Amino acid sequence: MSTQKGFTLLELMIAVVIVAILALIAIPNYQPYMIKTRRVAAATCLLELSQYMERFYTVNLRYDQNSSGAAVALPATQCQTDLAGHYAFSLNPDPTARTYTLGAAPQGAQSTKDPLLCGTLTINQAGQKGAEADVSKCWR
């Protein structure tokens, strides 16, 4: 007499149902954490870009163009690449010699599913942070 080893179809189906139930519970609870994490990463990226602008100012004594007259352009940073599709980073269209404003505009699900409705995060040359909602909550 031989005995067979392995799973029956019924046992396999029960395991699949248990995994599906766990996924239905876990995924919706996971998404708000990802939204918040991306928002914090965008704020951190704005701080990195702000540091770039301050270094640019230190060398050129102005924010809008370098010593040869070329307009300032934001560098391609890893944080911008990581957040592509979730945030669009920009330098206000017309920085002056003494002022600038950087922005991170949410895109896609980041703009519609953010529970705080922070909208576009901004920072200027004075280090003033901005958002469309409560700045103290959106920048942490």
Least confident of 49-53, 84-88, 119-123, 136-140: 136-140
> Residue 119 — left, alpha, or beta (φ > 0 → left; ψ -120 to 50 → alpha)?
left
What's the whole-number mean pLDDT along residues 69-98? Answer: 90
Q: Model confidence over 6-57: pLDDT tens digits?
A: 778 999 999 999 999 999 998 888 888 999 999 999 999 999 999 999 999 9
CB 110 within 8 Å of CB 101:
no
Which residues contact residue 106 at a Cβ distance below 8 angstroms, ignoring those fewer than 6 apart? Answer: 39, 42, 86, 87, 114, 118, 119, 120
Q: Model confidence over 53-65: pLDDT tens digits?
A: 999 999 999 998 8
Residues 9-138, CATH architecture: 2-Layer Sandwich (3.30)
Structure tokens at 43: 């704020």
Q: Model confidence over 110-124: pLDDT tens digits?
A: 988 888 888 999 999
Q: What is the C-alpha R_g of the chain?
A: 24
CB 87 within 8 Å of CB 38:
yes
What's the whole-number mean pLDDT along residues 73-77? Answer: 90
pTM of structure: 0.79
